[in-house]
Structure 1
Amino acid sequence: MDYTTLGRTGLRVARLALGTMNFGALTDEADSHAVMDAALDAGVNFFDTANVYGGTAEKGLTETIVGSWFARGGARRDKVVLATKVYGNMAVGGPSWPNHDRLSAVNIRRSVDDSLRRLRTDRIDLYQFHHIDRDTPFEEIWQAIDVLVAQGKVLYAGSSNFPGYKIAQANEIAARTGRLGLVSEQCLYNLAERRAEMEVIPAAREYGVGVIPWSPLRGGLLGGALRKQREGTGARSATGRSAEALADPALRDRVQAYEDLLDGFGLDPGEVALAWLLSRPGVAAPIIGPRTVDHLEAALRATELTLSDELLAELDRIFPGPGPAPEAFAW
């Protein structure tokens, strides 16, 4: 497994991050533990979760499953760079009370303690703001993080789903007061969704923020969705986000061209989609969300795949990016 430093920190993480969003919701505890064991054995040391993961009726369940895995011992916790998130409404069955969601100082401090309890650990290595909070100034957010860092509960802060200007704003305010600021941004980025190249990734690179793409296969769309539909395999490619996306004729044509291209090279679509992300400037570690050990092993193969210049050019032709900023903004 290859490793990289996360943004401008000295924190070394694997080039793939293990996303746990399916644990509890689609994968039971025993199978979730098996996936985490296999990931650690393969050298994956970067685990990503969130306080709201686990399903609508069981928010927090995913963190609980990760915590029960840590509790099995074997120095599991010390071998893992643990990332979780704060923002979402944690109430079950109705709206939350005021100050029980978003990024107020009181909710950040409360949410950290709740996550630590579920995760059965004394620290969160990377604490990520799951969305922007337009009502809370970054001065307040950073003050809350300062307290948690001083207490040893949080080591680094990152963002998720932030626009480029918010990455800049957060880090400019942090810099003015001598703080480290954001060290990572977790954004939607894949071959079929490249808008992050316009502002988010340039902003992240300018500020030394490591990019952690989520949905690298765009909900299965880039994992051979059309082939699986024809073969009647892969239930998720017949329903959900992947099926909705394929209802767009233009996108369906591009996906078909993508699969035909890779058939000619004898390559697996999902592995190529991950390998493409690993080749992109600024990308630290795409987040994979395996539901089984087999899914994990397929993702790991992408780290050993080098894409030729010819293939990269063809991928750009099928899924063209928006172009470089600011030139691409020109009429």
Structure 2
Amino acid sequence: MKYNLLGNTGVLVSEIGLGTMTFGGGDKWGLFGSLDEKEAGILVDRAMDAGVNFFDTANVYAEGRSEEILGKTLKGKRQHAIIATKVRGRMGPGPNELGLSRLHIIRQVEDSLKRLGTDYIDLYQIHNPDQLTDWEETLRVLDDLVRSGKIRYIGSSNMTGWNIMKTRGLSQLHGLHAFKSSQSYYSLAAREIEREIIPVLQDQKMGLIVWSPLAGGFLSGKYSRNDQGTNEDRHAKLSFPPVDKEKTFAILDVLRDIAEARETTIAQIALAWVLNRPVVTSVIVGAKRPEQLQDNLAASGILLNQAELARLDEVSRLPIEYPAWPFLAQDDSIVRKL
């Protein structure tokens, strides 16, 4: 297992992390998985045996049950784990049981600590921005929690590039702890963060934690033009994350060619592409079965050659958008291509 620095923190995290959205189940979250403590414990142990030290959860996953299960599976092994969880989502019916207010965050960090069975959280991430709360209030309460020792570092998730820069500026202006990482959706089927988010992270020396690197399983090798799943399939019930199927089938064609030549799986090549991106700190994989986890973990260490990377880049590249094309248009050959 390879380890990367989490931004400029000096903390090393495994390049593959274990996501726990499959832990706990329930009416809403059971679609992603319903692993109980015993089943989840097998995955956690397999992951740690392979060198994984980064575990990602959220207070909303299975209405808190995911945090509880993760905490129990890490009992006696807490010192070897980097735990990341999140706050923002609704945790009850009341009007103040969601968001990024001081009131909600303080309540939720205490609840997460109890569920996880720990006295500190390594990386506390905002799950999404909150349009109702001033950023300064959110950053100040997160700073207070870092100073109190209840959380070690703070991170963002699902934010735009300009919002990341705004929060970094506010933190610097007021002498507050700043976001050290961004957790963002990134895969061969979705490269939008390359436009603005990745340049911001590189400029600000922040880490990138990738969620859904297999596009919700669409890049796992399970799907093809001739086999798009059944009505009981997860993508049939909930298209999350959304996928441009025609473009993704073309990507799968290339992935299949490379996987067959290397005598490995499509999922491993799709994960390896993300892992080969220089800005990526850790890639979160989720699993329902030990063999699924083992296959994903085997992507660590796969180095794609330049020819393979070029093929995957060509089939998955983003269209050129304004304001990029006026600068490229100075080259007549590029104008003709546009």
Q: TM-score, normalised by structure 2?
A: 0.87
Aligned residue among 46, 51, 60 for 1:52:
60
Q: How far, CA to CA, are the matches of 2:253 and 2:239 in structure 1?
A: 13
Is 2:164 aligned against 1:164? no
1:311 to partner: Cα distance = 0.5
CA pair 65-84 structure 1, distance change in 2 beyond 3 A:
same
Secondary structure of the 2:218 match is coil
Q: How far, CA to CA, are the matches of 1:232 and 1:116 in structure 2?
A: 39
Secondary structure of the 1:226 match is coil
User: Which amino acid counterpart does residue 212 of structure 1 have in structure 2?
Assistant: I
Please name the residue that 1:30 is paired with.
38
Verify the 8 A CA contact 1:221 1:242 in the aligned structure 2: no
Please name the residue that 2:21 is paired with.
21
Please name the residue that 1:70 is paired with.
74
CA pair 326-309 structure 1, distance change in 2 beyond 3 A:
farther
Q: How far, CA to CA, are the matches of 1:243 and 1:136 in structure 2?
A: 27
Q: Percent identity?
A: 39
Verify the 8 A CA contact 1:24 1:61 in the aligned structure 2: yes
User: Which amino acid counterpart does residue 221 of structure 1 have in structure 2?
Assistant: F
Q: How far, CA to CA, are the matches of 1:297 and 1:236 in structure 2?
A: 22
Q: How far, CA to CA, are the matches of 1:3 and 1:34 in structure 2?
A: 22
Please name the residue that 2:90 is paired with.
89
Q: How does 1:276-287 map to 2 (within 5 A)?
A: 276-287=273-284
Verify the 8 A CA contact 1:228 1:237 in the aligned structure 2: no
Secondary structure of the 1:184 match is strand
Please name the residue that 2:124 is paired with.
127
Q: How does 1:79-228 map to 2 (within 5 A)?
A: 79-91=80-92, 96-226=93-223
Q: How far, CA to CA, are the matches of 2:192 and 2:140 in structure 1?
A: 32
1:114-171 deviation per Cα after TM superposition (whole angstroms, max 9, x unaligned): 0001111000010000001122122111211122122211110001100101110111
Verify the 8 A CA contact 2:188 2:251 in the aligned structure 1: no
Q: How far, CA to CA, are the matches of 1:29 and 1:288 in structure 2?
A: 18
Verify the 8 A CA contact 1:229 1:238 in the aligned structure 2: no
Q: How far, CA to CA, are the matches of 1:132 and 1:13 in structure 2?
A: 25
Q: How far, CA to CA, are the matches of 1:286 and 1:183 in structure 2?
A: 16
Verify the 8 A CA contact 2:224 2:249 in the aligned structure 1: no
1:253 to partner: Cα distance = 3.9
Please name the residue that 1:12 is paired with.
12
Q: How far, CA to CA, are the matches of 1:49 and 1:220 in structure 2?
A: 18
1:256 to partner: Cα distance = 3.5
Gaps of 5+ in 2: 26-32, 330-338
User: Which amino acid counterpart does residue 84 of structure 1 have in structure 2?
Assistant: T
Gaps of 5+ in 1: none
1:200 to partner: Cα distance = 1.0
1:261 to partner: Cα distance = 4.8
CA pair 36-110 structure 1, distance change in 2 beyond 3 A:
same
User: Which amino acid counterpart does residue 22 of structure 1 have in structure 2?
Assistant: T
Q: How far, CA to CA, are the matches of 2:240 and 2:179 in structure 1?
A: 35
Verify the 8 A CA contact 1:198 1:324 in the aligned structure 2: no
Q: How far, CA to CA, are the matches of 2:48 and 2:267 in structure 1?
A: 21
Verify the 8 A CA contact 2:23 2:69 in the aligned structure 1: yes
Verify the 8 A CA contact 1:220 1:242 in the aligned structure 2: no
CA pair 253-228 structure 1, distance change in 2 beyond 3 A:
closer
Q: How far, CA to CA, are the matches of 1:201 and 1:324 in structure 2?
A: 16
Please name the residue that 2:253 is paired with.
256
1:28-76 deviation per Cα after TM superposition (whole angstroms, max 9, x unaligned): 221101101111111100100000001xxxx0010010122233x2xx1
Please name the residue that 2:48 is paired with.
40
User: Which amino acid counterpart does residue 23 of structure 1 have in structure 2?
Assistant: F
Aligned residues: 319
Q: How far, CA to CA, are the matches of 2:324 and 2:18 in structure 1?
A: 35
Q: How far, CA to CA, are the matches of 2:176 and 2:246 in structure 1?
A: 48
CA pair 10-251 structure 1, distance change in 2 beyond 3 A:
closer
User: Which amino acid counterpart does residue 184 of structure 1 have in structure 2?
Assistant: S
Verify the 8 A CA contact 2:123 2:155 in the aligned structure 1: yes
Q: How far, CA to CA, are the matches of 1:266 and 1:328 in structure 2?
A: 40
1:179 to partner: Cα distance = 2.8
Q: TM-score, normalised by structure 1?
A: 0.88
**C-alpha RMSD over aligned residues:** 2.6
1:88 to partner: Cα distance = 0.3
Secondary structure of the 2:280 match is coil
